Amino acid sequence: MWLETLCLLVIVVVALYKYLTKDYQHWTKLGLAQDEPTFPFGSLLGELVKGKKASCDLLREQYERHNTKVYGGYVFLNPILVIRDPELAKIVLVRDFNNFVDRSGMISPDRSKHSTVTDKIWNRQLTTLSGDEWKSVRSSLSPIFTSGKMKVMFALMQHVSNEFLDTIRKHSEKDEAFELKDLCGRFTMDSISSCAIGFNAGSFHEDETIFVKNAKGLFKRSGWAMFLFVLSLVPGMNALLGRLGISISRPQETRFFYNLIKASIEARRKSGEQRNDLIDLMIRIMKDEEITTGEDELDQFENDAKLKGPVKKAEFDELTLIANAMVMLLAGYETTATTMTWALFEIARSEEIQRKLWEEVQQFDDPSYTDFMNMPYLDCVVNESLRKYPQATAISRGSQENYILEDVNIPIKKGMDVYVNVVGIHYDPQNYPNPNEFNPDNFTREAKATRHPYAFLPFGHGPRACIGMRFALLELKMALFYAVKNFELLKCDETPEVIEFDPKSGFTSSKHPLIIKARPRS
Helices 278-286/318-349 angle, 10° precision: 150
Closest distance to ligand HEM from the beta carbon of 285 (Å)? 15
- By beta-carbon proximity to ligand HEM, the closer residue of 240 and 330 is 330
Determine the Cα–Cα distance for residues 192 and 126; give it in Å rounded to an integer: 17
Determine the Cα–Cα distance for residues 236 and 67; give it in Å rounded to an integer: 37
Whether cis (ω within 30° of 0) applies to the bond prior to 503 is: no
Q: In the window 114-153, what residues touch ligand HEM (CB under 6 A)?
A: 126-127, 138
**Maximum distance among all Cα pairs of the chain, rounded to whole angstroms:** 89
Spatial contact of 384 and 337, defined as CB atoms under 8 Å apart: no
| Per-residue binding letters, 289-308, with ligand HEM (x by CB under 6 A) | --------------------
Identity of the amino acid at 210: I
Supply the Cα-derived Rg of the chain in whole angstroms: 24
The verdict on 331 binding ligand HEM (CB under 6 A) reads yes
The verdict on 341 binding ligand HEM (CB under 6 A) reads no
The verdict on 389 binding ligand HEM (CB under 6 A) reads no
Q: Of 261, 395, 277, 389, which Cα lies nearest the Cα of 337?
A: 389
- By beta-carbon proximity to ligand HEM, the closer residue of 423 and 516 is 423
- By beta-carbon proximity to ligand HEM, the closer residue of 183 and 241 is 183
Interface stretch with ligand HEM, choices 9-17, 105-113, 164-172, 391-399 (CB under 6 A): 391-399
Figure out which of the listed residues 178, 258, 369, 471 binds ligand HEM, where binding follows CB under 6 A: 471
Spatial contact of 354 and 488, defined as CB atoms under 8 Å apart: yes
The verdict on 459 binding ligand HEM (CB under 6 A) reads yes
Total site size for ligand HEM, rule CB under 6 A: 25
The verdict on 82 binding ligand HEM (CB under 6 A) reads no
Figure out which of the listed residues 83, 322, 395, 418 binds ligand HEM, where binding follows CB under 6 A: 395
Figure out which of the listed residues 116, 203, 214, 335 binds ligand HEM, where binding follows CB under 6 A: 335
Do the annotations mark residue 466 as ligand-binding?
yes
Identity of the amino acid at 44: L
Determine the Cα–Cα distance for residues 288 and 41; give it in Å rounded to an integer: 45
Determine the Cα–Cα distance for residues 326 and 320; give it in Å rounded to an integer: 10
Spatial contact of 317 and 363, defined as CB atoms under 8 Å apart: no
The verdict on 398 binding ligand HEM (CB under 6 A) reads no
- By beta-carbon proximity to ligand HEM, the closer residue of 357 and 472 is 472
Q: Which residues are near ligand HEM by CB under 6 A?
A: 103, 126-127, 138, 192, 327-328, 331-332, 335-336, 339, 391-392, 395, 458-460, 464-468, 471-472
